[in-house]
Structure 1
Amino acid sequence: MDPLAAEIIEAHGGLERWRQLRSISAHLTQAGALWEIKGRAGVLADTRVTVSLTEQWASHAPFGDPSRRSEYTPGRVALVSSEGQELETLEGPRASFDGHTLETPWTDLQLAYFAGLAMWTYLNVPYVLALPGVRSAEIAPWMEEGSTWRRLQIRFPDHITTHSSDQTLYVDATGLIRRHDYDVEIAGGTPGAHYLSGYRHRGGLAFATSRRIYPRQHDGTPQRDMLVVSIDLDHLELS
């Protein structure tokens, strides 16, 4: 593992503690332009998200209708009733995004796939840096608004489903992640700059409870006049 990767993991609580847990859940509120663009405004504006720390699985409850929840895995997504009955399913969901651009509307099941993989990624970073097949290397530092952040370039293997194979973490002097760059492949490769703040400690781990995502421009700077997604988390529970 790259030394910076090890520092980042330790700053967020360490692998030993993370490996003692099986899941994280939190109250989630979301806003931003993306949901309107995709024709799904309000569906996941106020919900509870749960992600697994042992496999690629996530769920949002409620999912729009109070009686529905989503279940995400890379190979299958489903909408499930409060009684546990599957209402809709989609096998091989990533293929359904072929040819999509940022402006292409989503179905509910496509939203469930995107939201599931996104929140699984966000709540499992940085510990995924220690998973088999994940490669990382420190690259040149970055200056932004008077701060200098160290940067870690990541390459994810094919068996880990996330926004894009290549991603970059920006960390402050304490090792906490302040920015996370990726390209949203299922939305035409749209480049994003994802900012993290509001760190809180739960169960020995540090979590960013406020996240703001903007378009990333060709020079690497964010387009601050367009908030693509806002994410706020509270009432975190670990199990």
Structure 2
Amino acid sequence: MTDLLSEVLEAHGGTERWNRFTTVTATIVSGGELFVAKGLPQDPQPRRMTVATHREHASVEPFGAPDQHSDFTAGRVAIERSDGTVVAERLDPRRAFTGHVLETPWDPLDRAYFNGYALWTYLTTPFFAIMKGMTVEEAEPWNESPTERWRRLRVTFPDDIASHSTVQDFYFGDDNLLRRHDYHVDIAGGFAAAQYVHDIDEADGIKFPTRRRAYLRRPDGHPDRDRVMVGIDLSDVHYF
């Protein structure tokens, strides 16, 4: 474990506290250009997200209908009714994105897969970095402005964890709290994203951002502020 990772974990609540929890729940409101491009513009209805803290599993409800929810793992994504009836299911869901570009339409299972892995990643940051198979190194810092310099952790994800891309960068301020998250969205043509996070809150001793805005990332590493690819607002977060 790098010194920076140790400091970051402590700043966000510490591993001892994190290890007491098995589940995170949050109310989410999301939108952005990506969903429009995929033919699935997001409505402003709040939804309830549930993710596991120590394995990759996520669910959101309602999904498509008031009595339906999504069920996501890396190897399977499904839409189910509240009584357990499977409405739609896809095994090995990553394979379905082969050949996709940014404008390739998504079906509801594609949307459920993206939502599942993305929110699992966000709601377990930075603690997923100590899971088995993760490789973490401190990379060169980033000069966000002439007066603001952020330290950077580069995380390489193992094959059995679904996420945006294999290699992702996470930036931290002087207080060791998350400021920015960079990745490529491999399932949408691999476009580069710079996700800025804001409004840090705390629940059950864990600190997390409540507002995320993912911009198209320019070749120089700076965001295109006119291209909000995904926006997510979080509230009513609980760890248990």
TM-score, length basis structure 1: 0.97
Please state if 1:40 is matched with 2:75: no
Matched residues in 2 for 1:115 and 1:19: separation? 24
Matched residues in 2 for 1:129 and 1:92: separation? 24
In structure 2, the residue matched to 1:227 is: 228
Q: Name the aligned partner's letter for residue 30 of structure 1.
A: S
In structure 2, the residue matched to 1:18 is: 18
TM-score, length basis structure 2: 0.96
Residues 199 and 210 in structure 2, CA contact (< 8 A), matched pair in contact too:
yes
In structure 2, the residue matched to 1:200 is: 201
Q: Name the aligned partner's letter for residue 197 of structure 2.
A: L
Residues 54 and 128 in structure 2, CA contact (< 8 A), matched pair in contact too:
no
Paired residue secondary structure (1:237): strand
Q: Name the aligned partner's letter for residue 112 of structure 2.
A: A
In structure 2, the residue matched to 1:112 is: 112
Between stretches 86-95 and 128-137, larger displacement belongs to 128-137
Q: CA deviation at 1:45?
A: 4.7
Q: CA deviation at 1:157?
A: 1.6
Matched residues in 1 for 2:43 and 2:104: separation? 17
Residues 47 and 60 in structure 1, CA contact (< 8 A), matched pair in contact too:
yes
Q: CA deviation at 1:134?
A: 1.3
The count of residues paired between Structure 1 and Structure 2 equals 239
Matched residues in 1 for 2:239 and 2:155: separation? 26
Q: CA deviation at 1:42?
A: 2.6
Matched residues in 1 for 2:90 and 2:194: separation? 29
In structure 1, the residue matched to 2:80 is: 80
Q: Name the aligned partner's letter for residue 52 of structure 1.
A: A
User: How far does the alpha carbon of each residue in 1:24-49 deviate from its partner, in whole angstroms, 9 at most, with x for none?
Assistant: 11110012111111111136852111
Matched residues in 1 for 2:80 and 2:132: separation? 32
Matched residues in 2 for 1:188 and 1:44: separation? 26
Matched residues in 1 for 2:23 and 2:5: separation? 22
In structure 2, the residue matched to 1:4 is: 4
Matched residues in 2 for 1:176 and 1:88: separation? 39
Paired residue secondary structure (1:224): strand
Matched residues in 2 for 1:56 and 1:102: separation? 25
In structure 2, the residue matched to 1:211 is: 212
Between stretches 160-169 and 35-44, larger displacement belongs to 35-44
Residues 196 and 212 in structure 1, CA contact (< 8 A), matched pair in contact too:
yes
Paired residue secondary structure (2:228): coil
Q: CA deviation at 1:165?
A: 0.9
Please state if 1:56 is matched with 2:56: yes
Q: Name the aligned partner's letter for residue 63 of structure 2.
A: F
Decide whether aligned partners of structure 1 residues 109 and 44 sit closer, same or farther in structure 2, where only a CA change above 3 A counts: farther
Q: How does 1:169-208 map to 2 (within 5 A)?
A: 169-208=170-209
Matched residues in 1 for 2:111 and 2:34: separation? 11
Runs (4+) of structure 1 exceeding 4 A deviation are none
Residues 7 and 176 in structure 2, CA contact (< 8 A), matched pair in contact too:
yes
- Tell me, which stretches of 5 or more residues in structure 2 are unaligned? none
**RMSD value, Cα:** 1.2
Matched residues in 2 for 1:45 and 1:102: separation? 24
Residues 79 and 109 in structure 1, CA contact (< 8 A), matched pair in contact too:
yes
Q: Name the aligned partner's letter for residue 205 of structure 1.
A: I
Identity score, percent: 42
In structure 2, the residue matched to 1:144 is: 144
User: How far does the alpha carbon of each residue in 1:137-160 deviate from its partner, in whole angstroms, 9 at most, with x for none?
Assistant: 112211113411111111112122
Q: CA deviation at 1:22?
A: 0.6
Q: How does 1:152-167 map to 2 (within 5 A)?
A: 152-167=153-168
Paired residue secondary structure (1:10): helix
Paired residue secondary structure (1:227): strand
Paired residue secondary structure (1:223): strand
Q: Name the aligned partner's letter for residue 87 of structure 1.
A: V
Matched residues in 1 for 2:133 and 2:196: separation? 26
Matched residues in 2 for 1:128 and 1:41: separation? 29
